[in-house]
Amino acid sequence: MSTIILYTVISLSATGIVAALILYFAAQKFKVYENPKIDEVEEELPAANCGGCGFAGCRAFAEALVKAEDLNDFYCPVGGNDTMQMVAKILGKEATLSDPRVAVLLCNGHCEARPKTNVYEGATSCAIASALYGGDTGCQYGCLSHGDCVDVCDFDALHMDTETGLPVVTDANCTACGACVEACPRDLFELRKRAKKDRKIYVACRNEDKGGIAKKNCAVACTGCTKCFKVCPYDAITMENNLAFIDSDKCKLCRKCVPECPTNAIIEIGFPPPKEKKVTETATDNANNKEEVLPGQSKTDQS
């Protein structure tokens, strides 16, 4: 009995050793070589896995960077220029630098400006609501207010304003990953160039209806009047489909377009309030007390 057990143990051990050797040689023959620089590059990436770079995650982005001949078509919006320069240093390549970006909502149709015409009762999802009907207001281009953009933001840069019914972007937290851009079924988010002190001027409207219809459905809609287009000295404003658009790469933030908009569809953020011209009391008193001098009469003669 003991001999049978001994033979069994020896047979199983031999079979295990042979199988291990086969697996070892097979692994050596078919193993996939992985460039160690991939790990080095991944360590420099922010590990956000947001997809803003166009890849599934930071690991996939690192692999693409290492394999690429140049970095012209690659950029990490979360890490920004600093991260790309570190990656370029590891790979011995030149990094393409880009202006920092920030998300903005191209809709200012708050509850008072865009009153509801019906009540939606369904799944609280912008994607679903957009697929089912035109919305609960007369504007079929505006925000649906269900917060899909807030749900996909991994950086706490978006929240819903209960008073306006619109999402609000927190510039300090926004990494320009583009998740909100992809999530919005009405294409209401844009990644604009981040200026100093987070100053922004943009047309907060996507309504392509003609002026009268757009104004009827939303008090702050762009009517396509072209007034802003005519006063822009930098060719930063274009008109298309009854809608004005301000290119953040060309805009110099001169603010000349803002007072021209009759519906306040152009938003300006981060600017100090305009200074009011003050007339001193002394100048006013002098003007009021100015003595009238008749022709041919001097002040001395008058006194």
Distant-in-sequence, close-in-space partners of 236: CB < 8 Å, separation ≥ 6: 246, 247, 250, 251, 252
Whole-number mean pLDDT of the chain? 88
Higher pLDDT, 284 or 204: 204
Cβ pair 206, 189 in contact under 8 A: no
Q: Which amino acid is at 18?
A: V
Of 148, 175, 5, which is closest to residue 82 (Cα–Cα)?
A: 175
68-72, 141-145, 258-262, 297-301: least confidently modelled range: 297-301
Which whole number is the average pLDDT over 66-80?
Answer: 91
> Residues with Cβ < 8 Å from 151, sequence gap 6 or more?
183
7: which residues sit within 8 A by CB, 6+ positions away? Answer: none
Residues forming beta bridges with residue 62, ordered by sequence position: none
Q: CA separation (Å) from 184 to 128, 189, 241, 269?
A: 11, 7, 20, 22
Percent of residues, the chain, with pLDDT higher than 90: 67
Please give the structure tokens belonging to residue 61. Answer: 């982005």
The CA–CA distances, whole Å, from 90 to 25, 29, 66 equal 33, 30, 9
Report residue 274's pLDDT band, with 50, 70 and 90 as the boundaries. Answer: low
Mean pLDDT of 99-123: 92
pLDDT of 287 above 60: no
CA angle 206, 211, 214 (to 5 degrees): 50
Domains and CATH numbers, the chain: 37-91 (1.10.15.40), 101-269 (3.30.70.20)
Task: Using pLDDT thresholds of 50, 70 and 90, give the confidence band for residue 292.
Answer: very low
The answer to whether 244 and 238 have CB atoms below 8 angstroms apart is: yes
Is pLDDT above 50 for 254? yes
Angle between helix 80-91 and 58-67 (nearest 10): 50
Number of H helices, E strands in the chain: 11, 8
Query: Cα–Cα distance between 126 and 135 in angstroms, integer?
Result: 10
Give the tokens for residue 140: 């079929």
pLDDT at 33: 66
**Chain centre distance of CA 256:** 24
Tell me if 111 sits within 8 A of 201, measured CB to CB.
Answer: no
How does residue 276 score in pLDDT terms, banded at 50, 70 and 90? Answer: low
Confidence of residue 169 (pLDDT cuts 50, 70, 90): very high
**C-alpha closest to that of 179 among 138, 215, 147:** 147
**Is 125 a residue whose pLDDT tops 80?**
yes
Instruction: Kindly list the distances between the CA atom of residue 117 and the CA atoms of 111, 135, 211, in Å, as whole numbers in the listed order.
Output: 11, 9, 20
